Structure 1
Amino acid sequence: MLTGPFLTRLWCICGALFVATGTIMGALTAHLPDAHFAEGGRAMARSAMDMQMWQGIALVALGLGLAQRTNRLLLAGGCGVVVGTFLFCAGVYDTAFTGHHGSHIAPTGGSILIGSWLVLAAGWMRRA
């Protein structure tokens, strides 16, 4: 089930969903009254939305680019981008709207994202 073609198609789907929900979050950050955000929350939400949009576009490109040929590092890196993006953005959105800083979700997601892009780089070096 977790084969290369399945995962690359899943990355395209997740990327498209990240971009779609990022567009929704962009509209919310632009139009919601300040009362819906914690102090500084609008800027935080906008930063999360930017990250979500870029990672979504990258996932679609990754899925399309690896549809024919891949390796384990590229598969692992792509999965990490999906998980890391979700955790990072969810943590930042939570803080932006509630002001709650007690969670380690955003830094964990960010660390997973960084590591995943390094794994992808290693996978592309191996593939070359």
Structure 2
Amino acid sequence: MCGALLIATGTIMGALTAHLPDPHFAEGGRVMARSAMDMQMWQGIALLALGLGLRERTSRLLLLGGCGVLVGTIMFCGGVYNTAFTGIHGSHIAPVGGSFLILSWLVLAVGWVLRA
């Protein structure tokens, strides 16, 4: 469900990025928003695949990693979208979200190794 919601909102962000006039973006913001949308879409697809793969057998590590991917994606992409539209770089949300994503994927890797 969360993967599908990330993909749905990523599609909306893709449409906004493609069609909003330039004054709605900070300098270089359209490219930044496009990059965040790409990241959001890939993470959404990964969460869909993860959800399908966990239907039969799961572990706490895999659930934790999946939740972390969701939270990290929201933080990272949200921070980048904010900067793309406002031009304000003062937030640490994007770097923390990116770090959370990396850590979550490492947790997933460990969970899959232990599951095998």
Within the candidate set 107, 110, 113, 1:122 is matched to 110
Q: State the TM-score, normalizing by the size of structure 1.
A: 0.89
Residue 22 in 1 paired to residue 14 in 2? no
Residue 106 in 1 paired to residue 79 in 2? no
Q: State the TM-score, normalizing by the size of structure 2.
A: 0.98
Deviations 1:64-100 (A, max 9, x none): 1001101111111001001000000100000000001
Give the secondary structure class of the aligned counterpart of 1:101.
coil
Q: What residue identity is the alignment partner of 2:55?
A: A
Residue 81 in 1 paired to residue 73 in 2? no
CA distance in 2, matches of 1:100, 1:84: 20
In structure 2, stretches of 5+ residues that fail to align are none
Tell me how far 1:105 sits from its aligned partner: 0.4
CA distance in 1, matches of 2:10, 2:99: 20
CA distance in 2, matches of 1:21, 1:75: 22
- After the TM superposition, list the runs of 4 or more consecutive aligned residues in structure 1 that deviate by more than 3 angstroms: none
Deviations 1:19-69 (A, max 9, x none): 001001101111111100000000000000000000001101101100110
Within the candidate set 17, 26, 29, 1:41 is matched to 29
CA distance in 1, matches of 2:28, 2:69: 26
Residue 32 in 1 paired to residue 20 in 2? yes
Taking only the aligned residue pairs, the percentage that are identical comes to 81
Aligned length: 116
